[in-house]
Structure 1
Amino acid sequence: MTEHQIEIAFKEYNTLTELNETDHDLCLEAVKAMEGSHSPYSKFRVGAALRLQSGKIIYGSNQENVAYPSGLCAERVALFYWGANHSDDPIEAMAVTASTDEFEILQPVTSCGSCLQVLAEYEKKQNKPIEIILFCNNGPVWVMNGVDSFLPFLFFEKRLNVEVKG
């Protein structure tokens, strides 16, 4: 038997004000994206903002449906919109935040496995990692360089598709 250990590295900032201006502004765009959240059942609003190489910002918010699990997470809303409309303009960074009136969120909320797998697909498609910024109101900010920080054992089978075309 061989035992392996996996470590991840990420940056943690105390507040948004410690980020560089570009990342700080992207986080503010993620807060704006939450305004489009349709979350009458969970009352848990999530906003995502993608910054593209061109500087364009893509927004996503969680969209719930009474016929659970027909809804979609904010990250996938933004990522699928990018894939359908802007896939020739690489994603540089994604900021994600969440809010609820039910309780205080004290640390960043991480993306679900489905969102991370979609993020991995698009990192592979554009052949470069996407900076991921997770934050909460009045709390820490976590910055990761790519989806490998979350899913070290991503599902990819190279024989399924030798080359992903844009």
Structure 2
Amino acid sequence: MIDVDVRPMSRAEFDRWQTDVVDAYAQDQVTAGTWTADEALHRSAEANRVLLPQGMATPGMFFLLGVLPDGTTIGRLWISLTHPRGVSHCAYLYDIEVVAEHRGRGLGRALLTAAERTAREEGAHALELNVFGSNTTALGLYQSSGYRVTTQQMRKNLRTDAQ
């Protein structure tokens, strides 16, 4: 496996990431059929504000960049030591992203391993995450990395005019 280290984001890196993560989450919700395109960006930004009331300084949150030994940034992580549903000793991985031009080289697995190491070093006994059902690449990565389904949401469209 490729060795990936992590380091904290700088303020400027965090600010850029905030824009990217809000946009990506909004799009994921639209793709999943949860939010309309008109409301998605606003709702995503609001959800982010609720989770990060003190921004980068919100206690228990880690905002990290994945870097190769040569200093190349290959991805980003957002880890919370406080689980959103209060699961004891379980950290939560809100975001993991490999930079587009570095995908397909095993770096997602290496970045996930770095996230697990960080959570373990901070005292977590487990790491949980959410993955959208349409993200088959991520599903495969998580399953092959030992993650198991703990809850699952399913939806059926009941409108006859929608496919």
Structure 2 length-normalised TM: 0.35
Higher relative contact order (CA 8 A, sep 6+): 1
